[in-house]
Amino acid sequence: MTTGLSSPLAICLALLAAWGVVGLAGMLRPASLRFAGRTLFPLGALCGAALAVVAGLNIAAPPEQIVLLIGLPDLPLHMRLDALSSVFLVLLGATSTGISIFSAGYFRRGQGTLPGLLCLEYHLFLASMGFVLLADDAYGFMLAWETMALSSYFLVTTQHRIPEIRSAGFLYLLIAHVGAISILLAFGVLQGGTWHFTFDSMRTAEMKPAWATAAFLLALFGFGAKAGLVPLHVWLPEAHPAAPSPVSALMSGVMLKTAVYGMLRVTFDLIGTPAWWWGLILLMVGLLTALYGVVYAAAQTDMKRLLAYSSIENIGILFTGMGLAVVYFGVGMPVPGTVALVAVLYHALNHAFMKSLLFLGTGAVLHATGERNLGRLGGLIHRMPWTAWLTLVGALAIAGLPPLNGFVSEWLLLQSFLLAHEVPKPFVNMLLPLGAAVLVLAAALAGYVMVKFFGVIFLGQPREARLKDAHDAGRTERIGLIWLAAGCVLLGLLPTRVLPTLSLVPEQLGLSVGTMATSSWWRLVPLPDRGASYSPMIFLLAVAAVIAITVLAVHYFYHQRIRRSAPWDCGFVRLDARMQDTAEGFGQPIRHIFQPFFTLERELPTPFDAAPRYRVTIGDPLWRALYLPLGRVVQRGADSLAWLQQGRIASYLLYSFVTLLTLLALML
């Protein structure tokens, strides 16, 4: 059913196309930073905001399809806009608005790639993510998916003259493609012998449970590679520090969510009836990823690597919630299943805002200081108050502290976890509640990570003399940061406005009936018969009232005299910045407690060293256990095939000839 030009889907497609046009416009004056920064990025931000509004208004509408007569002959592109797509389009549009505004003031000269080209890659990346969310057939999906991977690869390697960045980009591209093959295979299984690759035919295709499981596992591998599930996470901590900060923000905030979208789409929509025990796989992988990510985040000394590992943790939380939802829907408990699924969607939205905010904050710090290493930062709250306070909002939100948004989604997830003992499966109902314990541990560790992140960068004394010249973020950059911080606060305070809309997604997928109960506009009661409620507005009002009364009382009854003096130096006269905890020092308890997680290499000086140096290198044991052996096998395989490559055109022609003959023989 094709619809008119004024339909929401058509408007969305037009906006995505507009992104493409904005990007292409960058090539008109590729060397002009002013043109890209003053005109094109703000236009891109406008498109993003419009997209968020259009998609947001459309969540409640019935699904809508369009067949675009472009692409290969006989293979038109199918597009579809339903509640699930709309939610993720809102995420894409709203987050990218803030990031684009920030980018308008961020990119400077001498970043390797020309500004116009960068603008093209950036907007192409945005548009391709939008098409991933709208695609309704395997061809369109894979086309958009690959465009997304390639454009982001070029964005990662913006500073392509640095060898480390090139190799980080290569690792990203490699894992992205291994994942893409797996997704392609998953679609191959999903068509179920009909050889029709539209999602509609996949929805109706009848499959044996074994094939459905195969499709699910392939999709899990493929989307897990993009999302950064352990053990496929290794590209994240390499690619995020390599990319410019707005790109890291987009990749972490939005692109990882397209993988979550893909997984939700395949599991709940294309397969339709997921087996309950798939949820256990998702739960185990998710919990492992969450714990692994947060433990590594606590040990990092590079601020962007730290955030990359924190993204891995949050992806783990998302997959945990997804697993819980699969279990609940699979065993016929739609009410807690809806809560779990809505928590996943809400956490995806929340994480998009807070992680983008944090990455942009690191971008501002990077510009001001040229330093990513936590050991050379410190005290920036004095020089960069805007960046510091806005980043603090993101840090508190991601640490899951009320009344900000991270708390709401974790609260919802825990609420649904607390019904896990009612799952009518022996053993499983006993082990599932223990998953809540792991989740809670990961959430508490996230607080540790964020205190380290914020405290070492912004608080204390500057660890380097030149930090005294650091400048705050520019005006456009500030607007971008404020946009995202406001998102964190509003999503934290008004979950009751958003959650009922999000619960339309499981309803439209046929998983549950009716929207989630929220009782009233100010009070969140996801499971009415359990009497647990949370009201962020009242909560904030109460805390604010108590604080206000305290401040007034203290100031009314007592004097307000303040003296400044040097900090107490314990009688040791030369107190300097090097005596503060370093990032390594702050991570030391974690390294100590979670020692089996790490491979540590210590270089300690001998007592006779004149210039003693200490060095601790933290390695990922998975590299040695998994990737290096795999690399060796591939290398050996390639070596053994190397004799084919002779460099003579005649032998290559012979290969083609033989191949053609074989194919002919097979066809006949």
* Closer residue to other proteins in complex, CB, 117/419: 419
Binding residue for other proteins (CB under 8 A) from 28, 434, 513, 625? 434
| 382 in contact with other proteins (CB under 8 A) | yes
Q: Which of 248, 200, 414, 432 is nearest to 330 (CA)?
A: 432
CA distances from 213 to 188, 189, 190, 486 (A): 13, 10, 10, 42
- Return all residues near 95 (Cβ < 8 A) that are at least 6 apart: 48, 249, 250, 253, 254, 352, 353, 356, 484, 487
Site for other proteins in 588-627 (CB under 8 A): 588-590, 592-593
| 451 in contact with other proteins (CB under 8 A) | yes
Site for other proteins in 547-566 (CB under 8 A): 547, 550-551, 554, 557-559, 561-566
Q: What angle do CA 314, 319, 321 make, to 5 degrees?
A: 95
| 402 in contact with other proteins (CB under 8 A) | yes
| 415 in contact with other proteins (CB under 8 A) | yes
| 288 in contact with other proteins (CB under 8 A) | no
Structure tokens at 71: 């692409």
> How many Cα neighbours within 13 Å face the side chain of 211?
15
Site for other proteins in 245-264 (CB under 8 A): none
* Euclidean distance between CA atoms 83 and 79, whole angstroms: 14
Q: Which of 368, 357, 351, 269 is nearest to 317 (CA)?
A: 351
- Return the H-helix or E-strand segment holding 133: helix 115-134
Binding residue for other proteins (CB under 8 A) from 235, 448, 483, 598? 448
| 13 in contact with other proteins (CB under 8 A) | no
Quick one: which segment of 194-202, 251-259, 392-400, 615-623 binds other proteins (CB under 8 A)? Answer: 392-400
Q: What angle do CA 172, 174, 179 make, to 5 degrees?
A: 95
* Euclidean distance between CA atoms 248 and 499, whole angstroms: 28
Quick one: which segment of 209-217, 252-260, 437-445, 613-621 binds other proteins (CB under 8 A)? Answer: 437-445
With beta carbons less than 8 A apart as the criterion, state whether 510 and 204 touch: no
Binding residue for other proteins (CB under 8 A) from 17, 214, 441, 490? 441
CA distances from 572 to 379, 460, 567, 614 (A): 22, 18, 11, 24
Site for other proteins in 480-539 (CB under 8 A): 523, 530-535, 538-539
* Euclidean distance between CA atoms 495 and 493, whole angstroms: 6
* Closer residue to other proteins in complex, CB, 564/602: 564
| 579 in contact with other proteins (CB under 8 A) | yes
Quick one: which segment of 49-57, 117-125, 284-292, 433-441 binds other proteins (CB under 8 A)? Answer: 433-441
* Closer residue to other proteins in complex, CB, 395/502: 395
* Closer residue to other proteins in complex, CB, 8/406: 406
Beta-bridged to residue 81, according to DSSP, are: 64
| 284 in contact with other proteins (CB under 8 A) | no
Report the nearest approach of other proteins to the CB of residue 543 (Å): 5
Q: Which residues of 376-412 are buried (b: 16+ CB within 10 A; e: fewer)?
A: bbbbbbebbebbbebbbbbbbbbbbbbbbbbbbbbbb
* Closer residue to other proteins in complex, CB, 146/464: 464
| 418 in contact with other proteins (CB under 8 A) | yes
* Closer residue to other proteins in complex, CB, 34/563: 563
Binding residue for other proteins (CB under 8 A) from 316, 400, 487, 495? 400
* CA-based end-to-end distance of the chain: 41
Amino acid making up residue 612: P
305-324 footprint of other proteins as x/- string (CB under 8 A):
--------------------
Report the nearest approach of other proteins to the CB of residue 595 (Å): 11
Binding residue for other proteins (CB under 8 A) from 328, 407, 483, 598? 407
> How many Cα neighbours within 13 Å face the side chain of 180?
18
* Euclidean distance between CA atoms 101 and 94, whole angstroms: 11
Report the nearest approach of other proteins to the CB of residue 499 (Å): 16
| 569 in contact with other proteins (CB under 8 A) | yes
* Euclidean distance between CA atoms 332 and 326, whole angstroms: 10
Binding residue for other proteins (CB under 8 A) from 284, 580, 584, 627? 580
| 459 in contact with other proteins (CB under 8 A) | yes
* Closer residue to other proteins in complex, CB, 543/628: 543
